[in-house]
Amino acid sequence: MSVAAAGARRPSEARIAAAATLACALEVSAEKVGNVTPTRRFADVRYDDFALSAQALGTAVSRAEPGRVGRAVYEAVAATARVAPSNTNLGMALLFAPIAAAARATRAGGLRRRLGAVLRGLTVDDARWAYRAIRLARPGGLGDARRAIRRHIHRAHALATSARAMGPATLGSGPSPGITRGG
C-alpha cells in the first residue's frame, strides 16, 4: 500500500475509542504531584474511577463527527459521570472530541488539515453542548482559581510598586537568579 493510500484511510470507531482510552489510562497512570495516580487519590475520586472513565470516554468520543463536536463532549462527560463519582475526564473530552471528529471526517487532507476544518466549523450549538458538559462535570477548583488570580494580581502589583520604589537598579539589570537564557 502506498503512503498516499495509507494516509487516506480513516480509523474505525473502535481504533479511535482504543486510542482515547489508552491516552486517558496513560495520563492517569503517570505519577504527577497534585493529581490522582495509582498511588494517590483524592477524597472523592480514585485511580479506579479514572480507569473506568477512560473506557467510557473512549467509546463516547469515538462517535464524534464534524458538526457535532460539542454533543460528543457532552456525551463523553455523561458517560464518565455514569461510572465515576466526580469529574474525571472533562479536559480529555474537550481535547479528544475535535480530534476524533477530524479523524472521522471524510474531506481530503491529513489529520491536521481536517482538525483545522473541524475547529473552524464549531458552532454556537457546539458551545452550548460543551457548556452543558462543563455543568454536568462540576469541575472543582474554579472558585479557588478566582481567588488565586486576585492574590497573584495583588502580589504582582506589590512587587511592581516595591521595584519602582527601589529604583532602576532593580529593574532589568540582568537575568533573575536561577533563570538562564536559552534553556
- In the chain, what are the helix, strand and coil shares in percent, each to the nearest 5? 65, 0, 35
Residues 6+ apart with CB under 8 A from 90: 77, 133, 134, 137, 139
Task: Supply the pLDDT for residue 181.
Answer: 40
Task: Say what the pTM is.
Answer: 0.71
d(CA 97, CA 61): 5
Map out the domains of the chain as residue ranges: 3-137, 141-168
Task: Supply the pLDDT for residue 10.
Answer: 83
- Which amino acid would we find at residue 164? R
Answer for the pair 65, 122: CB distance below 8 angstroms, yes or no. no
Answer for the pair 42, 145: CB distance below 8 angstroms, yes or no. no
Answer for the pair 89, 76: CB distance below 8 angstroms, yes or no. yes
Residues 6+ apart with CB under 8 A from 97: 61, 64, 69, 70, 72, 73, 76
Residues 6+ apart with CB under 8 A from 164: 171
Overall residue count recorded for the chain in this entry: 183
d(CA 40, CA 86): 16
Cell of 152: 497573584
- Reading the chain (183 residues) residue by residue, the pLDDT tens digits are 334 444 457 889 999 999 999 999 999 888 888 888 888 888 888 888 898 999 999 999 999 999 899 999 999 999 999 998 888 899 999 999 999 999 999 888 899 999 999 999 999 999 999 999 998 998 876 555 556 556 656 666 566 555 556 655 444 444 444 434 444
Report the SS3 class of residue 57: helix
Cell of 176: 533573575
Task: Supply the pLDDT for residue 92.
Answer: 92
